[in-house]
A = this chain, B = another copy of it.
């Protein structure tokens, strides 16, 4: 079950070029993306309503797309504009289209009630399009439920274990209690880690002689946008003095492909040494290496869950944000389905 009335990231803008017919399954629905002559992105069902052939094997013709099985052609609003050998166009010959917004390098889609699609609800991913920040785009597909990725992102204690050789290094992150605050449609987590060792990838980027302070502050917006302010500075320097700090801003988007596969769009930006391409590349590569570590453990976790008899998960303190977020999602899903309350849909922390 997916939250329908919400914005999801469907693609990086550069994945849909002028001549592209991009096929991507989102929330279990195969969707076709292409650009009109004016650059606007069109999203419509990939399944041709005539004989169910995929439109992405078709042909873009101006603002329209032709199914290359029998030649039926649709306009950007999904209406049929041509049936070869037939003058009258059946009204039922129509593809469902979806509201799409291209904003700061990401293409967003709304798969619920089109009337409720409000562009203002899209979170501010400012670093994706800001002169002071540098980054490289990335994408991974995970063979697991988006819920396992959400869990993963709501508890950074895993950095010490999953990312021991990249982002973590000591048990200090796990030992620091995060500050958790519920948002109307999300959750805010702050985890300041004092007087610890730099992470392996910090050493590649800076020169920290002694211990460091680290911080992780992020909002996770339902159903799958993470905006993270993170950094590292020498222990002992004042918190408002970032002159010796390395600071990062990361935008991450989780979009279900189906209930066992997830699209993951992400980047981590830096505002220091921003004309040094090696720094940008180093950060992107470190991020890739770390996300490959997540992918490994999450896919193994999914496989374990799917191949064994159902059994309860035993809660620990670090799961606090997970359980609070799942309760929020239960409420949002109930609202999405037009119900009044979603109590009880997700397990509570013990």
Contact = CB atoms under 8 A, between A and B. Distances in A.
B86 A308 contact: no
Contact of A70 (B29, B52, B318): B318
Interface string A44-70: 001101111110010000000011111
Contact of A53 (B29, B57, B300): B300
Contact of A304 (B46, B72, B164, B176): B46
A195 to B, nearest CB: 16
A120 interface: no
A57 B297 contact: yes
Interface residues of A, number: 58
Contacts of A311: 47, 49, 52
Contact of A68 (B67, B161, B308, B315): B161
Contact of A71 (B68, B174, B305): B174
A324 to B, nearest CB: 16
Contacts of A90: 314-316, 350
B72 A316 contact: yes
Contacts of A49: 311-314
Main SS at interface, chain A: loop
A236 interface: no
A243 to B, nearest CB: 31
A102 interface: no
Contacts of A85: 157, 171, 174-177, 317-318
A83 interface: yes
A305 B174 CA distance: 47
Contacts of A314: 49-50, 90, 92-93
B171 A30 contact: no
A70 B304 contact: no
Interface string A173-186: 01111000000000
Contacts of A157: 70-71, 84-85
Nearest to A46: B304
B84 A175 contact: yes
A267 to B, nearest CB: 24
Contacts of A313: 49-52
B158 A70 contact: yes
A213 interface: no
Nearest to A317: B86
A341 interface: no
Interface in A12-65: 25, 29-30, 46-47, 49-54, 57
A91 to B, nearest CB: 9
Interface string A301-333: 101110110011111111100000000000000
24 contacts: A30-B307, A30-B308, A49-B312, A50-B313, A51-B319, A52-B301, A52-B308, A54-B300, A54-B301, A54-B303, A57-B300, A67-B161, A69-B161, A70-B155, A70-B158, A71-B161, A83-B316, A83-B317, A85-B175, A86-B318, A90-B314, A90-B315, A90-B350, A92-B350
Interface of A: 25, 29-30, 46-47, 49-54, 57, 66-72, 83-86, 90, 92-93, 151, 155, 157-158, 160-162, 164, 171, 174-177, 296-297, 300-301, 303-305, 307-308, 311-319, 350
